[in-house]
Structure 1
């Protein structure tokens, strides 16, 4: 490698390649959705383990790694039967959610609070939310307990399912 930048690109490429190689459990009726979930969770876990990957993907979106992620998701969007004029948007939303949510989770867990127990952080934030003005923050106060108890991976996968449900509702023929 000629410099640190090239080393980071190569390391990011290796981490992402491993995440994209994860195969889902075979379910023929929803194989494309299962592949999207497998790629999403593979990237979520990879970024959780290597938080620097999120920043590297953002900084080098024009290099081969980010287009490889887009291609992997885009092929599955095509396989879902999304009409051609909607494929770019559907794939973009999925990739942006995957990288954004995974990057934010890694930043919170590993970068912002590396030496603080996650349970303590969520409890402190939940208590702060419960103390907000009820007239200004009725929703935030109402979900404070859910924040305290949530699982990051499950919430992330729930987001993927919301996006996939939206894609199906807007773009796929009803069965």
Structure 2
């Protein structure tokens, strides 16, 4: 019992979650094991299990920590529309920085909406939707539309980056994709043939913001 007390005094849940995030960032979900954690933290598995019951709990805590950090700097003194954009960029950057986060957020929303992650995000966006003057009957729908766009677009952007592969030049990747679209028959694929050049030239963050503004414009038009 004395040894157990020394370990728990030296090791905190915060340190464990921080180490888990580092492993997830570098090795992905498959690389997050209790064995890898014990090596990184130079401790025994028992000390980790004292604070975290299993891998699912660890993933939940890592996801919650990443989201909390993304929302930690509350934008103030701006219009509700500008604040929504700031929150959206915070989440976009978090998902871009942590490639595993998009998948975990999708799992949180579908399997654990009563946990801490979904309420954090909905509250942050929802209070600003309310400040836009959206009728109360439309609060949930408007907030859901924004949340799903933000997480979906940010998650897809991160997935595209992973799909390109480590060390692959983004401009080269987009150029190759654009050329492939240009080779599609214009009779069968007139739309893709026409926008192939836009694919090559687009900026991810600017495109994300433009899409967000489309959603916000639709929401505010209903006020």
Regarding TM over 0.5, the answer is: yes
The 5 Å alignment of 1:127-138 reads: 127-138=179-190
Query: What is the TM-score of this pair, normalised by structure 1?
Result: 0.91
Residue 123 of structure 2 corresponds to which residue in structure 1?
A: 71
Residue 37 of structure 2 corresponds to which residue in structure 1?
A: none
- Kindly provide the CA deviation profile for residues 18-71 of structure 1, in whole angstroms up to 9, marking residues without a partner as x: 1112344743xxx11111101100000000010211111111222210221011
Residue 85 in structure 1 maps to residue 133 in structure 2: no
Residue 80 of structure 2 corresponds to which residue in structure 1?
A: 32
Question: Matched residues in 2 for 1:150 and 1:64: separation?
Answer: 35
Question: Matched residues in 1 for 2:164 and 2:195: separation?
Answer: 22
What is the number of residues matched between the two proteins?
167
Question: Matched residues in 1 for 2:200 and 2:96: separation?
Answer: 19
Query: What is the TM-score of this pair, normalised by structure 2?
Result: 0.72
RMSD: 1.3
Residue 44 in structure 1 maps to residue 92 in structure 2: yes
The answer to whether the Cα contact below 8 Å between 1:54 and 1:99 also exists between their aligned partners in 2 is: yes
The 5 Å alignment of 1:82-161 reads: 82-110=134-162, 112-115=163-166, 116-161=168-213
Question: Matched residues in 2 for 1:16 and 1:32: separation?
Answer: 20
Corresponding residue SS for 1:60: helix
- Kindly provide the CA deviation profile for residues 60-96 of structure 1, in whole angstroms up to 9, marking residues without a partner as x: 2222102210111111101111001111110000000
Q: Which entry has the higher C-alpha Rg, 1 or 2?
A: 2
Aligned to 2:63, which of 4, 9, 12?
A: 12
* Structure 2, unpaired ranges of 5+: 1-51
Q: CA deviation at 1:113?
A: 2.1
Residue 21 in structure 1 maps to residue 72 in structure 2: yes
- Kindly provide the CA deviation profile for residues 124-168 of structure 1, in whole angstroms up to 9, marking residues without a partner as x: 110011111111212211111111011101100111111111111
Question: Matched residues in 2 for 1:150 and 1:34: separation?
Answer: 22
Residue 101 of structure 2 corresponds to which residue in structure 1?
A: 53
Question: Matched residues in 2 for 1:12 and 1:104: separation?
Answer: 17
